[in-house]
Chains A and B, each alone.
Chain A
Amino acid sequence: DVKVTQSSRYLVKRTGEKVFLECVQDMDHENMFWYRQDPGLGLRLIYFSYDVKMKEKGDIPEGYSVSREKKERFSLILESASTNQTSMYLCASSGRGRSYTFGSGTRLTVV
């Protein structure tokens, strides 16, 4: 069964910490995405990547960075975590046809 795997379901971090959220897909998809989901706001795109070592800013990139050193792995980095980054983070990948496959999400709490 094809899948997108996010390394943690729940994370609690302290303000100012550097946080890494990892995402791995096994579908050989070119495209990978990071969204955050907040009640009443839906999903908002943070960053995406169309190829290894390539990245593009989404709608809300401030306070985040990404890394894609291998095709199957796309990491989201919070350089200095803040309480307003408490959220559900969803990783997705897609090939041709534009259908996204999502991971189960990481619920991050910054205290």
Chain B
Amino acid sequence: AQSVTQLGSHVSVSEGALVLLRCNYSSSVPPYLFWYVQYPNQGLQLLLKYTTGATLVKGINGFEAEFKKSETSFHLTKPSAHMSDAAEYFCAVSEDSGYSTLTFGKGTMLLVSP
């Protein structure tokens, strides 16, 4: 069975600071990994995904994530936070087999202060 752990329900940064949101996964087969963002009162929007190939994945809005198989991690980073990055972020995993569905972490709320 697959699972996702996001460390920290809330992360606070100052505008211009590095953003680091942590995600660890568990999967018995090669995983597909995703980060989604949710702004208030909206659905989820795909930030980036890893399926195969290059382990450093670049997404929208300057975010990127690195798949580290040895650490079973897929942490999300952005070099410089902007006020508009304040939102809730969800890491998700899907297995590369059959009718696998997405399993989500519990989410991390990113707070950005001026």
Which residues of B, 17-37, contact A by the 8 Å Cβ criterion?
32, 34, 36
Interface size class of A (residues with CB under 8 A): 20 to 34
Residue-wise interface mask of B (52-69) relative to A, using a CB-CB cutoff of 8 A (1 in contact, 0 not)? 000000000000000000
Q: Complex: how many Å from CA A99 to CA B49? A: 8
CB atoms of B101 and A90 under 8 A apart: no
Interface size class of B (residues with CB under 8 A): 20 to 34
CB atoms of B106 and A42 under 8 A apart: yes
Interface segment, one of A12-20, A43-51, A67-75? A43-51
CB atoms of A40 and B9 under 8 A apart: yes
Between A and B, how many residue pairs show CB distances below 8 Å?
53
The residue that B51 contacts in the complex, of A41, A44, A98, A105, with Cβ under 8 A, is A98
**CB-nearest residue of chain A relative to B91?**
A42
B83 adjacent to chain A (CB < 8 Å):
no
Chain A nearest CB: distance from B91 CB in Å? 9
A61 adjacent to chain B (CB < 8 Å):
no
Chain B neighbourhood of A105, CB < 8 A = 41-43
Q: Complex: how many Å from CA A10 to CA B65? A: 34
Q: Complex: how many Å from CA A48 to CA B98? A: 14
Chain A nearest CB: distance from B24 CB in Å? 14
Interface residues of A (CB under 8 A from B): 4, 9, 33, 35, 40-45, 48, 50, 56, 58, 90, 92, 97-105
